[in-house]
Structure 1
Amino acid sequence: MMKKRKIPMRKDIVSGEMAPKKELVRIVRDADGNVSIDETGKKSGRGAYISINVDIAKKAKADHVFEKAFSTQLDESFYDDLIAYIDHKQARKELFEDGK
């Protein structure tokens, strides 16, 4: 019998809901204070997670969630990039889930 692997769970910073780490996008602030999308999930720095959901990404922008999380100022362009990235991930996810 195969041992069931523990699924790492993380909290979505916007909704506060727990979800499997691979269903979230990690945003990281590095030592220099730069905030970026961590596509690998392995960058060093302080991380926060957000669901792969465009509505949640838009809410994050409206509420300036990552400024609060990282105590820093962010350009609107960061959120626009995040929304575009999540939109892409969401579309791919839906595409592959339908193609089973």
Structure 2
Amino acid sequence: MKKRKIPMRKDLLTNTMMPKKELVRIVIDKDKNVSVDPTGKKSGRGAYVSLIPEKIAEAQKDRVLEKSLGAKVPPQFYEDLYAYVDHQKARKELFGENYRAK
């Protein structure tokens, strides 16, 4: 049986290539609204970050998302992103490696 190709994306926080399903997409739309895209299908410019909650504070300090997306990211978004990433990491640990974020 032929192996399926695993889509890879670059993680902004660790600067490494990782499988797409292990990352979460951050998207900015044409109205400059920044949001988490759990489905990976929202329209707009996207950037991928890993499910490592500790890296979110570093990203806020270094303004990684602002540089990548080209817009100001409000501090409340970083808090929401941290909560989302922490929750997804906990679910992945609870349900195992075959868990897929929805």
Length-normalised TM-score, structure 1: 0.91
Query: Aligned ranges for residues 2-81 of structure 1 at < 5 Å?
Result: 2-81=1-80
Task: Give CA deviations for 1:38-80 in whole Å, capped at 9, x if unaligned.
Answer: 0100011111000011012221122121111111112100000
Amino-acid identity (%): 59
Q: Aligned AA for 1:44? A: S
Q: Aligned AA for 2:15? A: G
Deviation at 1:14, TM superposition (A): 1.4
Q: What is the SS of the residue equivalent to 2:77? A: helix
Deviates more, 1:84-93 or 1:63-72: 63-72
Deviation at 1:25, TM superposition (A): 0.4
Length-normalised TM-score, structure 2: 0.90
Equivalent residue number for residue 87 of structure 1 = 86
Deviation at 1:12, TM superposition (A): 0.3
Q: Tell me how far apart the structure 2 counterparts of residues 74 and 57 of structure 1 sit (CA, whole Å).
A: 13
Runs of 5+ in structure 2 lacking a partner? 98-102
Q: Tell me how far apart the structure 2 counterparts of residues 56 and 4 of structure 1 sit (CA, whole Å).
A: 32
Q: How many residues align?
A: 97
Hey, which bits of structure 1, 4+ residues long, moved more than 4 A?
Answer: none
Q: Tell me how far apart the structure 2 counterparts of residues 88 and 58 of structure 1 sit (CA, whole Å).
A: 16
